[in-house]
Structure 1
Amino acid sequence: MKRDSITILILLFFGLTVHAQAGKNPVPLKLDRATADLTLKQGEEVSFSFLLKKDVYYSITVEQKGIDVTIGLKDQRGKTLQEVDSPNGRFGSEKIVFSPDSTANFILTVKPLADTANAKAGNYSVIVQSPPKKLKPLQYKALEQDFNILKNAFIETHVGLWYNTYTQFDSLCQVQKRKLKNKMTALDFYKLVAPIVTYTKEGHSAIQPSEETTNYIRQNGRYFPFLVKIFDKKVYILNDLDNYKTRGMQISKINGTSIESIMEQFLRIEPADGYNTTSKYHWIETAFSKYYLRFFEQQPATFNLELIHPKTNEKISYSHIPALNFKQYGKFVSKETKAIPNYSYKESAQLKIDTLNSIATLVVNTFSTSDYTNGRKGFKEFLAKSFQNIADYKIQHLIIDIRKNEGGEQGMEDHLMSYLVDREYQKYQYAEIPSFTYSFLDYTEYRDKKSAEDFEKELRGEFYRSNDGRYIELPGKYKGDTPQVNRFKGDVYILISGLSFSGGSEFAALAKNYTKARFIGEETGGGYYGNTSGYFIRYTLPNSKLTGRIPIIKFVVEKKETGIPFGRGIMPDDEVQPKIEEFLSGYDTEMEFVKKLIKNK
């Protein structure tokens, strides 16, 4: 039975102690003061109220301490504005970032995730944070501790030691460590360690600024008001802005800094598999304004641009272009991306059949099970129906488009492969983890003893320690699907790009090894020889509060004699890339190239 809430507010040191009970009356919260640990049981729902001011960006965090919760933000009328349940499980943070359009009271709801695997009861804490007015300086010893924790975690997990020797990796770390200075901010520290994460040459590795930095930037940062696209290492603008005719123009300088210098910096901090760069350029495109703010100017009032017309090489200059705040930038991106053809995908997968030319085009934009109705089962049903239609129409040519497929869940690529092969195949030479236990878990989502034990148990369920001391996957753990009866027997063409990553790139590698498919586009972002992914250890450094993740399963693909250099992705048989005017018009250069190949066959 639900009871009315009883609220007792007692300020103790830096914390706010709140005794919250499930009920209809919200518990009032003061901003920037964390509650003590509160208890929540299955079937309960607790709500909190607080006043938020117009156009201020607040960070609302519920720290899970033994129970998996769902949180929601509502306005005074009870309308749900946001609802969040991240895949953190029973430990870690659930976060909402919100900036109201008017000053008002808002309600936060906290309730247990309705799942039989969830705990019957557990603790949590709540804090609603205002953005900081400035970034606080950190002491050298604190920065040094964070640096050492990160470096040692990479070495312990062997991340960075597939493409580098220990001496090479340690040498870069020493160079960066000498740059540490007393009273650096967390943003300064992020800039210093980001190149180390990139140097691991593992595209699944990541590091992000602290929450303090992110909150500060949301409130105070000013953004470059343009979307960009990169072709052949040249950076082009995708939109006009008010009276500035910039669409399709090539960038030469931003506020006096050459685009070459800007891109050199961005390439140093964008991780990728091995020696690949195609993925870097694609990811930099979407993060361009964010990266410029982090690494060059946090609060520019305006931008001065020097541009080049791509056809005439005419130099064009614009001055005093207003910068955008975070809210303006979000609205700008939402509007402009809708106006650009094929900027992002709308459907997870689709099939088109051209009976006149006997061509089927199968687009698979993701292997994420959450993007398909009924998850993995739904994806397999889509494939079964698609290939049945292909068989019914006696299609001779199959185009598979994975240019936007950045991966997803393990094994999804095998479901697609099962329609292209006539026999079972060996997927990996091996899959390996560094260990079952790790010394730095106190700074991760597994800092709690129970969660650390569960993580170790999960790893032991998939790997074993072999006679040579390595931790190898159990026999049969990562195995391809049985070939389908109605497999496709005609010509196969696969469109690839730098965004073909992780499982998407792995599918391309398998198709390269076990089919006669022809590849068109650009080098895949994911490595041909494998990647490190699967399980991730997500960390938070104790002083700077930088966050990130370390992948720990090293998947080594069963390779054939392909001539692909180590550390590179799957190379296209036909390298095809659109010109900027083709991209802006919506003309699909790679797809039309394939159709001409088929027509002239």
Structure 2
Amino acid sequence: MLKSKIVLILFLPLLVFSQSEKWPAEKLKKDLTIFREIREKANSGLYKYRTKQQIDSIYSWAFSQIDEPKELIEFYKIILQITDFEGSLHNDTRLPDDFEKKYSLGNVFFPYPVKLIENRLVLNFENSEIPLGSQIFSINGIETKKLLASLYKYYTTDGYNITGKSIGIGSSFAKYFQMEYGSQKSFLVEYSLPNQTQKLTKTIYPVSNESRKENFKNRFSLPIDSLQYNRAKDKYSFKVISGNTALLSVHTFVIGRNAKDKQHIAYKRYLDSCFQYLSNHSEIKNLIVDVRNNGGGTDPNDIVTFSYLTQKAFRENASAYVNFQKIPFPNYFVCEETDAKKQQEELKDFEDEIIEEFPKLVNKKYPQDEKFNLLLDPDKNSFKGQIYMLISPRIASAGSLFASLVAGNTKAIVIGEETMGGYYGHNGHTPIEYELPNTKIKTQFSIVNLEQDVPKKANQIFGRGIIPDHKISQTFEDFMQNRDTQYFYTIKLIDQK
């Protein structure tokens, strides 16, 4: 599967506006028009979850919002609404770097990390002002339910999924709050103490971006959720945890760039040794596969891992296609190269790869050539016992493709929370990026629309992530003890059987 990533830098005239200066409506409308035309031509997932009428409607709304001049941040929030509405976790729209840095200067951020626990927003930091674990009901008069809904657009997920947005809220709540509501001189927090109902209020004061980041690094839940936000040093591990149960943890599929990479080869050898061991120890009848921290990565790590868990032949996906062979709107396309001649070579190489993998136009689409989606056999040492797969809202991209294959094509018992990556498919594999000519806002999306090789199941809903067989979230009591609710539930389930 094509994995090229085209990033940054076009030579276009730079128009400088201050943070508070308003942009002329005609320039914003020009950027919005280009934004739409790019996505209509290049984004094969534009109508994956939304009808044309729905897409037309949100653009009508967007244009109605810019009849008058607007500040860049306000225009950015309009663009974000559209980006999120499309329904792809690979969508990413960013402010110009210089603007975002200036916008984040000074003491402007909510000081403490928060976390969603049992649908409650709780304080996730030990401090002397508001006790750890306190439930937050409102901030500066904005009720939590309304507050959270207003921040969802800052963190995209597949389809109509909401659970995955908790990952963005947990890591960047203060940043999102500041973007959405502007700099605050203080925060009036309405809250209740842990396990109490009486509402209290406390005024706390903003901190710098550096302090915000430092507090997040020292959040209370770090022992449990560190791997959700940081790439693991130990990307995978295997251990026997009892006489009849083993645990395979794969925290990421960022394990080398391709099948020839030394990291991937080492991973494949590691899997060989693990499953050879399981094959030789038939008393181990249960395998827990923990991919709760797996936000994706590169081929063929996901597919190789699945080959050790299935008993029948499989494909990576049922179908895949792109919208184009020649890059639309190359003047706004963002390249790695800065030299004009090298940029042209880069674009040609990229287009040649697309033509090789997606060679023919069929019904206004370019489907993937079958040689890039071969029928694959299970590994000879594939596990034949009972699989228990642990999932979470963090699972995305290649992580969700793997989890979908396991959930759909094996007898695995799936435990945890709905993933942010879709069960039936997603847009992925090949990200491209454009820069809008006036505002310099950058927008990235993936161009391969793929349907995963999974069966329809009653409990799996189109437009949603992978739905677990046992919906188990961390309880508040376990949060306060940094205890892994899902893991211990699984152990208990195995013991009962």
TM-score by length of 1: 0.75
CA distance in 2, matches of 1:512, 1:264: 30
Match for 2:222 among 340, 359, 369? 340
Match for 1:584 among 475, 480, 489? 480
Q: CA deviation at 1:379?
A: 1.9
Number of aligned residue pairs = 476
The 1:246–1:439 alpha-carbon spacing in structure 2 relative to 1, beyond 3 Å, is same
The 1:556–1:368 alpha-carbon spacing in structure 2 relative to 1, beyond 3 Å, is same
The 1:371–1:579 alpha-carbon spacing in structure 2 relative to 1, beyond 3 Å, is farther
1:311 is aligned to 2:195: yes
Q: 2:393 aligns to what?
A: 498
Unpaired runs of 5+ residues, structure 2, are none
Identity %: 25
1:163 is aligned to 2:44: no
Q: 1:279 aligns to what?
A: 164
CA distance in 2, matches of 1:573, 1:359: 20
Q: 2:462 aligns to what?
A: 566
Q: CA deviation at 1:374?
A: 2.9
Q: CA deviation at 1:302?
A: 2.4
Q: Pick the structure with greater CA Rg.
A: 1
CA distance in 1, matches of 2:432, 2:173: 27
CA distance in 1, matches of 2:332, 2:476: 45
**CA offsets per residue over residues 471-507 of structure 1, 9 Å max, x none?**
0111130336432121111110000111111111111
1:331 maps to amino acid: E
Matches within 5 A, 1:188-207: 188-207=74-93
Matches within 5 A, 1:366-377: 366-370=252-256, 374-377=262-265
Q: Which moved more, 1:415-424 or 1:439-448?
A: 439-448
1:468 is aligned to 2:355: no
Tell me if structure 1 keeps the 8 A contact 2:318–2:451: yes
Tell me if structure 1 keeps the 8 A contact 2:235–2:250: yes
Match for 2:450 among 555, 563, 574? 555
Q: CA deviation at 1:259?
A: 1.1
Tell me if structure 1 keeps the 8 A contact 2:154–2:176: no
Q: Give the number of the structure whose residues are more often helix, by fraction.
A: 2
**Alignment RMSD (CA, Å):** 2.5
The 1:308–1:287 alpha-carbon spacing in structure 2 relative to 1, beyond 3 Å, is same
The 1:318–1:467 alpha-carbon spacing in structure 2 relative to 1, beyond 3 Å, is closer
Q: Secondary structure at the match of 1:407?
A: coil
Q: Secondary structure at the match of 2:226?
A: coil
Q: Relative contact order: is structure 1 or structure 2 higher (C-alpha 8 Å, sep ≥ 6)?
A: 2
1:328 is aligned to 2:211: yes
Tell me if structure 2 keeps the 8 A contact 1:340–1:584: no
TM-score by length of 2: 0.90
2:189 maps to amino acid: L
CA distance in 1, matches of 2:266, 2:411: 28
Q: CA deviation at 1:518?
A: 0.4
1:343 maps to amino acid: D
The 1:335–1:465 alpha-carbon spacing in structure 2 relative to 1, beyond 3 Å, is same
CA distance in 1, matches of 2:266, 2:166: 32
CA distance in 1, matches of 2:129, 2:356: 59
Q: CA deviation at 1:132?
A: 8.9
CA distance in 1, matches of 2:350, 2:167: 33
Q: Which moved more, 1:464-473 or 1:276-285?
A: 464-473
CA distance in 2, matches of 1:527, 1:235: 25
1:336 maps to amino acid: R
1:457 is aligned to 2:352: yes
CA distance in 2, matches of 1:489, 1:206: 40
Q: 2:311 aligns to what?
A: 422
Matches within 5 A, 1:1-400: 92=8, 134-156=19-41, 157-220=43-106, 222-241=108-127, 243-298=128-183, 300-319=184-203, 321-336=204-219, 340-345=222-227, 346=232, 347-356=234-243, 358-370=244-256, 374-394=262-282, 395-400=284-289
Q: Secondary structure at the match of 1:476?
A: helix
Tell me if structure 1 keeps the 8 A contact 2:123–2:133: yes
The 1:408–1:445 alpha-carbon spacing in structure 2 relative to 1, beyond 3 Å, is same
Q: 2:493 aligns to what?
A: 597
Unpaired runs of 5+ residues, structure 1, are 1-86, 95-123
Q: CA deviation at 1:310?
A: 4.6
